[in-house]
Copies of this chain bind each other. A is one copy, B any other.
Amino acid sequence: MAPAEREENDVDGLMGQFRAYLTKKGLKSTRQRDVIAESFFSHTGHLSIEELLALARKDYPRLGYATVYRTLKLLTECGLAAERRFGEGQTMYEAAGDLEHHDHLICLECGHVLEFHNEEIEREQERVARSFGFTVIRHRHELYGLCPRARGIKGGSCPGEDARPHRPLA
């Protein structure tokens, strides 16, 4: 199965937003930043710094760790990326395109991550926030549990498991 990729125009749009942010801040567009951002935007799901580095190095082998950290920090600042610290291990990042409306359902057994969206919940959380006088800027909603297979149901499978070992990418 082909790695999960976002449509190209999405990527272009996101790249544009990123470049605009850099300009606005008086920062520079560099080959490295382009490569990192593009690798990042081109893949759905979650990426660790390490994975992103590996991806970006396909296009720019001399790329260093620190640059990825620094670029991801920029992307986070301008809202095009978001940290997702699930369970243990490293911090994962997710691109803005994925953010809009995806919450997570995580299998504690297999570690696989599914995304879901539910209008009812979104509405209700807005309501809750309002009752406290809050304005919600972003949110995170994660359900940790067991998939059918992990619960020992024959034939049941941890959705997302079969196709790929640990992440929905290359």
| A contact residues vs B (CB 8 Å cutoff) | 83, 85, 87, 105, 107-108, 114, 116, 118, 120-121, 124-125, 128-129, 132-148, 151, 153, 156, 159
Contact B128 A116 (CB under 8 A): yes
Contact B105 A128 (CB under 8 A): yes
- Chain B residues lying within 8 Å of A116, measured Cβ to Cβ, are 128, 132
Give how many copies assemble into the complex. 2
Residue of B nearest to A146 (CB): B135
Residue of B nearest to A126 (CB): B143
Contact B124 A124 (CB under 8 A): yes
- Chain B residues lying within 8 Å of A121, measured Cβ to Cβ, are 121, 124-125, 128
Contact B137 A125 (CB under 8 A): no
Contact B85 A114 (CB under 8 A): no
CA–CA, A147 and B139, complex, Å:
14
CA–CA, A128 and B147, complex, Å:
13
Contact A124 B128 (CB under 8 A): no
CA–CA, A158 and B140, complex, Å:
20
